[in-house]
Amino acid sequence: MIRQFEFRDGKLTVGVSDRDVDPAAVWIDVDSPSSSEENAVSAALGIELPSQEDMLEIEVSSRLYHEAEADFMTVLLPTQTESLEPNTAPITFILTNERLVTVRYHQPQAFGTFAQRAAKSAPDCADGVGVFVALLEAVVDRLADVLERAGQDVEVISTKVFSHKSKKPTKGREFEAVLSEIGRKGDLVSNIRASLMTLDRMTVFATQAAHKRTRSRDIHERVKMANRDVRSLADQAGFVTQKITFLLDATLGMINIEQNAIIKIFSVAAVVFLPPTLVASLYGMNFRHMPELDWPFGYPIAIGMMIASAILPFLYFKGKGWL
């Protein structure tokens, strides 16, 4: 699908969405294009759109390059941040002298939010450079929101890990759920860090690309500000990653403590019932001469010895603080 946006009356208006490029369009959004749509846009603009395989290349030279009077910039953006399986997908920004072209194969929320806001007011989006900078700011704001929410979720997980208010004798099941949550948040924050790394490189490259097409000091300052925001978010993502690693270690430690507590219960039970077993074994021996067998109170005394031999070790362990 191809969406084209024109700048009219201080806002972005969706133009004709077909295979013919509108000369007045300042932003062409190519969403999951077919081969015919790719060929049509490439022929109209005189540039070759990168394929999905090209966008997945990890070399910097394959993501940031200048070709045919256009600057190609590919970054990774998180997808499905609200799902159980967050991931990242590439998006390519192509900045020409007249317009901005974006090529993508997923629907990042920042694009939809920016398009809705720009349809109401976008005085700085009169050309491709202005649209690019405004869209870049929207992407950074979206990443900041996702990272902030992830940080809040990590704090909630931290409360669960170190909370001792549980009616269950053990918290093994609870810790299993916590481990799953930690794993999901770890994947999400890892994807955000990967996205911020590509955005950091892109903003440095975009500074030079914007400088070639405009002398506006405001544009240059906004790109630099976006770069500073990306780096500060990268630092925050590093902090959240450390917190997730700490919670993972703490949760595994809590699970180990729970397992040791269970083993301790069985060990104490074995020790407590060892003396009664000894008494029972002693009077279960088949000897002809055992004076206690002829006592009228021999059986009650044996039972009492078993009970006392079980209670005394328990009280001793309790007094030592081992239970």
Highest-pLDDT range among 45-59, 114-128, 184-198:
184-198
pLDDT band at 140 (very low <50, low <70, confident <90, very high): very high
Position 171 scores a pLDDT of 58
Highest-pLDDT range among 54-63, 186-195, 280-289:
186-195
pLDDT band at 230 (very low <50, low <70, confident <90, very high): very high
Q: What separation in angstroms does the CA of 157 have from each of 103, 188, 255, 299? A: 37, 15, 15, 58
Position 97 scores a pLDDT of 80
Round to whole Å and give the CA distance between 223 and 206. 7
pLDDT higher than 70, residue 218:
yes
Nearest to 29 by CA among 135, 120, 174: 135
pLDDT higher than 60, residue 285:
yes
Angle between helices 109-118 and 128-162 (to 10 degrees): 130
Question: Burial, 87: exposed, middle or buried (Cβ in 10 Å; 0-12, 13-18, 19+)?
Answer: middle
Which whole number is the average pLDDT over 109-126?
Answer: 85
| Percent residues over pLDDT 70 in the chain | 89
| Percent residues over pLDDT 90 in the chain | 14
Q: What separation in angstroms does the CA of 94 have from each of 20, 99, 170? A: 18, 8, 56
Q: What is the DSSP letter of 177?
A: H
Round to whole Å and give the CA distance between 199 and 226. 9
Which whole number is the average pLDDT over 78-94?
Answer: 81
Position 168 scores a pLDDT of 54
pLDDT higher than 70, residue 84:
no
Give CA angle at 133 (50, 8), nearest 5°: 95
Helix or strand holding residue 240 (H, E): helix 217-272
Position 229 scores a pLDDT of 92
- Residue 151 one-letter amino acid: G
Position 139 scores a pLDDT of 92
- In the chain, the domains with their CATH numbers are 2-260 (3.30.460.20), 273-320 (no CATH)
Position 320 scores a pLDDT of 66
pLDDT band at 141 (very low <50, low <70, confident <90, very high): very high
Is residue 56 within 8 A of residue 49, CB to CB? The reply is no
> How confident is the model over 165-180, as pLDDT tens digits?
555 555 556 777 888 8
pLDDT higher than 90, residue 42:
no
Q: Which two tokens stand for residue 129?
A: 């450079």
Round to whole Å and give the CA distance between 322 and 271. 13
Is residue 131 within 8 A of residue 114, CB to CB? The reply is no
Mean pLDDT rounded to a whole number for the chain: 82
- Residue 261 one-letter amino acid: A
Round to whole Å and give the CA distance between 186 and 102. 29
